[in-house]
Amino acid sequence: MIIENINEQNISPTREFLKQGNTNVINNIKTLIYKENPVLFDLLDFENDKIYQEPLLFAYFNSKEKVNTLEQILFGYILDKKKPTNILAYSDENGRIYLPNYGWLRTNKANEIFDLQIKSNTICLQSNSKNVNYTYEENNFIKNSSFELVHYQHPLLIPHYYDVKGKVIPVEVEKITRNNIEHLNNAVKILHNVVPYYYKKLSEVISKMVIFNDATLERNSFASLSVHGCIFFNAEILFFPISPFYTYRMFD
């Protein structure tokens, strides 16, 4: 297929199943949230599909270890007037607390559970009943797109970096992202300009992107049903900017 001719008329008929597949996935996530926490479920906008396509929800429900709370993952999706006055939230090994659709809270306390409270529309953190200082960092997005670039390693994603034997391998995210963010910006721009219909379809199912570095070459770029809606690029082996044809074949 010539890349310039990809459009709504000649795209593969299997794309017609995309909408129904998304609906089924969303309904499954709604059911899982409701079963685990019906009170939290009632705070969410039932009709807002974006909420139920959050990749970390898939990672959370597929995780053997609960390194995040469900409230933490959904906090940023709850309207301010409905936000709970306090939730429990985990920090990662670098003291960062990630709140999808809200941002990052950076503390100096690693691998800790915090009491996150809302006071006068401001987030306050407590640990062992003591206030904890933090700095706020906005989420990072690919230029002129809806794709969020997860520029720090996240504990729910760590189990998905594994070799052919299923052994988890260490990867680096923060530095390699800084070094390649402009290349990915250019790649996404090419997709948007050259194959706009295909870009539109990607935008309907993908909300997050991760650039990682596995110097051992034991983990290629990948997507996973267990983190549905997120793409992982191994910058050690993937040349940026991606050609539109290569990207079409990769996601086809």
Q: Tell me the pairing of strands 148-149 and 135-137.
A: unpaired
| Helices of type H across the chain | 17-36, 38-41, 49-52, 55-62, 70-74, 174-194, 196-205, 244-251
- For residue 241, whether the previous peptide bond is cis, meaning omega lies within 30 degrees of 0, is yes
The domains of the chain are located at 140-252
The confidence score (pLDDT) of residue 20 equals 79
Residues 110-139: tens digit of each pLDDT: 999 999 999 988 999 999 999 999 999 999
pTM beyond cutoff 0.85: yes
**Among candidate residues 192, 92, 201, the one with its CA nearest the CA of residue 151:** 92
The confidence score (pLDDT) of residue 22 equals 82
Percent of the chain whose pLDDT exceeds 90: 78
Residues 28-68: tens digit of each pLDDT: 999 999 999 999 999 999 999 999 999 999 999 999 988 99
The confidence score (pLDDT) of residue 62 equals 95
Q: pLDDT band at 236, cuts 50/70/90? A: confident
Residues 5-14: tens digit of each pLDDT: 545 555 555 5
The confidence score (pLDDT) of residue 8 equals 53
pLDDT at residue 179 tops 90: yes
Q: Which of left, alpha, beta for 95 (phi over 0: left; psi -120 to 50: alpha)?
A: left
Percent of the chain whose pLDDT exceeds 70: 87
Q: Tell me the pairing of strands 103-106 and 96-99.
A: antiparallel
Residues 134-164: tens digit of each pLDDT: 999 999 999 999 999 999 999 999 999 999 9
Q: pLDDT band at 251, cuts 50/70/90? A: very low
What is the residue-averaged pLDDT of the chain?
A: 89
